[in-house]
A and B are shown apart, each in its own frame.
Chain A
Amino acid sequence: MEIPLTWYLTLSAVLFSIGVMGVLFRSNLIVILMSIELMLNAVNLTLIAFGQFMGDITGQILVFFVISVAAAEAAVGLAIVIAIFRNKLTVDVNDIKLFRH
């Protein structure tokens, strides 16, 4: 009847790995930011699963904070994407070589 903890951990491991591959595969800055959000989601799932199985509410408080910081991160990250697009007219990481001279 009960769902074991390992199921949640395995699922979030799979989601996290897909997020890692997204960051490494894709060259579109916005898709890379979305992959980071996917990884944050996987970690949140792990936190809630551990917290609920331990009967401790701190896991959920931590997830609440992670979601708030993710919102701030998305806002700043997308502002940087807009700034780069205004100056370079591209969001492809292979064409952005600010430091490579």
Chain B
Amino acid sequence: MLAETFFVAAGLVAVIAALGMLVSRSPVRSALWLILVMLCVAGLYMTLSAEFIAVVQVLVYAGAIMVLFLFVIMLLNLGALPNLERVDFKKGVGFVLGTVILAQLVYITATASDPLVKASFNPAETGSALKIAEELFTRYALPFEIIGILLLVATVGAVMLAKRTFE
């Protein structure tokens, strides 16, 4: 009962915060709403007993990535948008498309007949840093190294792009 209450509370806050991000006029407020979404998602990872990923979510997403977003917003000195963006044909299409995608996903979820949907969740010791490290440094050692190279290339590329001026 406690787990379900926590799920409903965290899920509701996550959805409300995501909608807040969607409708906020100021980019800073959007970023702060998104941080709240990420903290709620981290809480949901805890209910799935994925503790290591929950901590990484808070550290990397809510910590590093969102601070980078806020830093860029402050650097560019973006204030609130002066007036409400008008509703036009493009936004109508966007709303319809988003609703269709949501309906499709919920329909697929509701009508799924896979035995996995009915399976009960047994919280094995799969979420600890020890178990993840065992897999990460043995079976997935090569992808792990490639991710390191990717991050290096992204860092160099970001510096180059941010310094560059077109004619």
Contact = CB atoms under 8 A, between A and B. Distances in A.
B84 interface: no
Contacts of A9: 105, 109
A60 B126 contact: yes
B46 to A, nearest CB: 11
Interface in B113-156: 116-117, 119-124, 126-127, 131-132, 135-136, 140, 143, 147, 150-151, 153-155
Nearest to A98: B166
Interface string A68-90: 11111111101111110111000
Main secondary structure on A side of the interface with B: helix
Interface string B92-122: 0111011101100110011010001101111
A28 B81 contact: yes
Contact of A45 (B41, B65, B90, B158): B41
B136 A64 contact: yes
Interface of A: 1-11, 13-28, 30-31, 33-35, 37-38, 41, 44-45, 48-58, 60-61, 63-65, 67-76, 78-83, 85-87, 91
